[in-house]
Structure 1
């Protein structure tokens, strides 16, 4: 695992555009103040919005089987049949 480059609080303030562009490109940074690490800047993971039919079929083939009767029994055991009314006090 590679070590994240350190940037000072002053660098963050004066080079924010350059640093944000690097983060958008996948780079992470450790921010320091007075020589001490105080935080990390890391890129957010982007969520995929589309899964192709072929990929879904491939994932489904390796998924475990489901026993529907056991699944229903688990639901019945954990769900309240008559939830409490929070306003009935």
Structure 2
């Protein structure tokens, strides 16, 4: 992993357009003040896309069928089994 370039607060102020263009293009920077790291400029992650109910239904058609009995058996096999379960009272 490569280290992010460090920029000073004054660099950020004086070269903000150049630096923000680089951030928009995917570059990250560590911002320093008086020789101390104070923050990071990182590209924003893409926001999540809303999936309509129709699109979700279409995507779900290709998923494998799950046996409820097999699923429950797997849960029972891996879950902690307490003899004094308060729900059994």
Unaligned runs of 5+ in 1: 71-89
Partner of 2:63: 61
Report the TM-score when normalising by structure 2: 0.57
Matches within 5 A, 1:5-84: 5-47=5-47, 49=49, 57=59, 60-61=62-63, 65=66, 67=68
Unaligned runs of 5+ in 2: 73-89
Q: Rg: which structure is higher?
A: 2
After superposing on structure 2, the runs of 4+ consecutive aligned residues of structure 1 that deviate more than 2 Å are: 47-51, 64-67
Report the TM-score when normalising by structure 1: 0.57
Question: Could you say if the C-alpha distance between residues 66 and 11 of structure 1 is closer, same or farther in structure 2, counting changes exceeding 3 Å?
Answer: farther
Aligned length: 64
Root mean square deviation of aligned Cα: 3.0
